[in-house]
Amino acid sequence: MRGPHNIWRLMRTGATMERTGAMKQAMDAMEAPRGLRILARTLLWPFQWLGYKGDASQPPVTRALTALGPAYIKFGQILSTRPDVVGADLATQLQILQDKLPPFPRDVAIKTVESELGQPMAELFSEFSEPVAAASIAQVHKAVRSDTGQPVAVKVLRPGIERAFRTDIDAFYFIAWMIEKLSPASRRLRPSDVVAHFEGVVQGELDLRLESASASEFAANTANDEGFNVPAVDWALSSRRVMTLEWVEGITASDIDQIIAAGHDRALLGQRVLRMFLSHALRDGYFHADMHHGNLKIAPNGDIIALDFGIMGALDEYTRRVYAEILYGFIKKDYKRVAEVHFEAGYVPADRDVDEFARALRAVGDPIFGMDASRISMARLLSYLFEVTERFGMQTRTELILLQRTMVVVEGVSRSLDPHINIWEVSKPVVEDYIKSSIGPKALTRDLWRTAMVLSRFGPRLPQIAESLLISQTQGAQAQDDAGRRWHALWLLLGGAGSAAIGALVVLLLS
């Protein structure tokens, strides 16, 4: 219930934010009016002793969210993907939010595994370690299958985590409602919608069958990617609260000293991380949206291993083509084409001036391309690009914000592996290959063929549709109007099918 009973939780949250200094930073990010800042300070300052102290070595907002517990930590992680809501500076701070919590007892994990999988532990695993990693929602144990002797990683949800999240999400909605009532200016940031987005993400992560499905789909998409590996899901030992993957050995991507000691080619690894991300986003439209150092390992043979598939990004084919054309236009310094793509996609209102927009884009691109290769940043370009498009009236697109945020993280990983990496030179082949395969003659032939196939499915229904239209002709004036619209739709359907089929045939003959 999103009612007054949440007031105590609201007070505890506010007190913690005030005590840690996070309230001021959050107000700045939300661009809260001066009156609301004074009101919050007046109400919370006397009660800050009720708040948690947190780890004083952490930045204010990170410190507060970590102190408030798992739901708040996860909320901070989700907000790190929304610089359009919290601002670039706070989003960057939240990216380093430490998702580390004290583990729950091994015995509790064993009971959960036995209950979920319906067998005694001895029949499932001959070995089951103490937790090797503990996060806000689940923790991981290394185990050995009893039947095959294969080492596996077993992820187990925290006990009672579903109820705890429901309770905290309830409070988040109440807080969002309060913010919208007290600060009308904040409504443009849609606090309630942000909480709803968070709720949707968390509900997916609280069912490990969904994460298992994400891992399985990602593994299928990347099966032929040389130098990239996704651990296989063991579906027989997975359920709603338990997820089992093959165990993989490797060096965490942040441990540069060990990577050097192992003799890995850091320049090659940096290129591979970036190219794999772009390939997954453009080619597959399905990418790992949390590719920070902790979720990447370097295998003994140099392969990059991806872990943790709770947050994945998806792009439809049209958006991928638009994104690729934008990147390709910048690579070629064809700012007029980049501007035209934004207008063609409807990202920028049609009443704006395309030439003026192109000049604004040149002001973004030229300074960056004039930099030394080690300083050229695609993340910086995307950040500036969103600033410009916002000035020209482009509305926020959540899928592009997530893509931008992931690009920032991936670029950071690549530069940590190879500080001298030239982001554009590495990206260019991937973008060019996608452009050739998705926008050239072959793509046109493929699109026309798909259109013809879809429209052909209506063939068996055309007699019934025609009969229905004839019957509707005898009904009243409103029905006649409806029939006219249906005849028009039928004409478009037949004409569209014929045009698509003829077009596909012509292209096939000419190719």
**Tokens 């772009």, located at residue:** 278
Is 290 labeled as catalytic in the residue annotation?
yes
Query: Nearest CA to 419 among 372, 370, 366, 367?
Result: 372
**Tokens 């993957």, located at residue:** 245
Residue type, 342: H
Strands ordered across the beta sheet of 304-306: 228-229, 304-306, 296-298, 251-252
Do the beta carbons of residue 267 and residue 421 sit within 8 Å?
A: yes
Q: Provide the 10 A C-beta neighbour count for residue 130.
A: 11
* CA–CA distance, 138 with 157 (Å, rounded to integer): 4
Tokens of 78: 């989700």
In 146-191 the beta strands, taken as DSSP E runs, fall at: 151-157
CA-to-CA separations, 474 to 62, 478, 481, in angstroms, rounded: 69, 11, 11
Beta carbons within 8 Å of 50's beta carbon, 6+ residues apart: 11, 12, 15
Beta carbons within 8 Å of 433's beta carbon, 6+ residues apart: none
Return the HEC string of 264-279: CCHHHHHHHHHHHHHH
* Share in percent of the chain as helix, strand, coil (round to 5): 65, 10, 25
Concatenating the DSSP letter of every residue in 461-475 gives GHHHHHHHHHHHTTS
Q: Provide the 10 A C-beta neighbour count for residue 165.
A: 25
CA 59 to chain centre: 24
**Tokens 């500036």, located at residue:** 384
Helix (H, G, I), strand (E, B) or coil at 153: strand
* CA–CA distance, 141 with 131 (Å, rounded to integer): 5
- The catalytic residue among 290, 316, 351, 447 is 290
Do the beta carbons of residue 272 and residue 298 sit within 8 Å?
A: no
Tokens of 287: 């990418």
* CA–CA distance, 425 with 271 (Å, rounded to integer): 10
* CA–CA distance, 254 with 260 (Å, rounded to integer): 11
CA-to-CA separations, 403 to 60, 306, 378, in angstroms, rounded: 26, 17, 12
Concatenating the DSSP letter of every residue in 184-206 gives GGGGGG-HHHHHHHHHHHHHHHT
Provide the annotated active-site residues: 290
